[in-house]
A and B are shown apart, each in its own frame.
Chain A
Amino acid sequence: MALTQADVLAGLKEIVEEVAGIPAASIELDKNFSDDLEVDSLSMVEVVVASEERFGVKIPDDQVTELKTVGDAVDFIVKASA
Chain B
Amino acid sequence: MSLKIKTGSNSRILSVGTYRPKRQVPNSEIVDRIEQMGNPKAAAFDISAACAGFCYGVAMAKDLIAGGTSKNVLVVGSEKLSDFTDPDDRATAFIFADGAGAVVIGAAEEPGIGPTIWGSDADSRDSILLNPAWTDFRNAPTKGVTDLGWPNIAQQGQTVFRWAVYSMSKVGLQALEAAGITGDQLAAFIPHQANFRIIETMAKEMKLPAAVVIADDIKTNGNTSSASIPLAMDALLESHPELSGGLALIIGYGAGLVYAGQVVQLP
Q: Which residues of A contact B (CB under 8 A)?
A: 41-42, 44-46, 48-49, 61, 64-65
Contacts and interface: CB of A to CB of B under 8 A. Distances in A.
Nearest to B163: A61
Given A45-B161, A45-B162, 12 more contacts: A42-B161, A44-B158, A45-B158, A45-B165, A46-B165, A46-B201, A48-B162, A49-B165, A49-B166, A61-B158, A61-B162, A65-B158
B36 to A, nearest CB: 42
B162 A41 contact: no
A49 B161 CA distance: 11
Contacts of A45: 158, 161-162, 165
Contacts, number: 23
Interface of B: 156-159, 161-162, 165-166, 197, 201
Contacts of A42: 157-158, 161, 197
Contacts of A61: 156, 158-159, 162
A65 B159 CA distance: 11
Contacts of B159: 61
Summarize B's interface: helix, strand, loop or mixed: helix
A41 B166 contact: no
Nearest to B197: A42
A61 B161 CA distance: 11
Interface-centre pick from B157, B158, B165, B197 (highest chain A CB count, 10 A): B158
Contacts of A48: 162
A49 B166 CA distance: 9
List the 10 closest A-B pairs by CB distance, nearest first.
A61-B159, A45-B162, A45-B161, A42-B197, A42-B161, A45-B158, A41-B158, A49-B166, A64-B158, A61-B158
Nearest to A65: B158
A31 B201 CA distance: 25
Nearest to A52: B166
B170 to A, nearest CB: 13
A13 B199 CA distance: 25
A49 B162 contact: yes
A64 B158 CA distance: 9
A45 B202 CA distance: 13
B123 to A, nearest CB: 11
A42 B161 CA distance: 7
B190 to A, nearest CB: 21
Nearest to A64: B158
23 contacts: A41-B157, A41-B158, A42-B157, A42-B158, A42-B161, A42-B197, A44-B158, A45-B158, A45-B161, A45-B162, A45-B165, A46-B165, A46-B201, A48-B162, A49-B162, A49-B165, A49-B166, A61-B156, A61-B158, A61-B159, A61-B162, A64-B158, A65-B158
A44 B161 CA distance: 10
A42 B162 CA distance: 8
A35 B158 CA distance: 18
B154 to A, nearest CB: 15
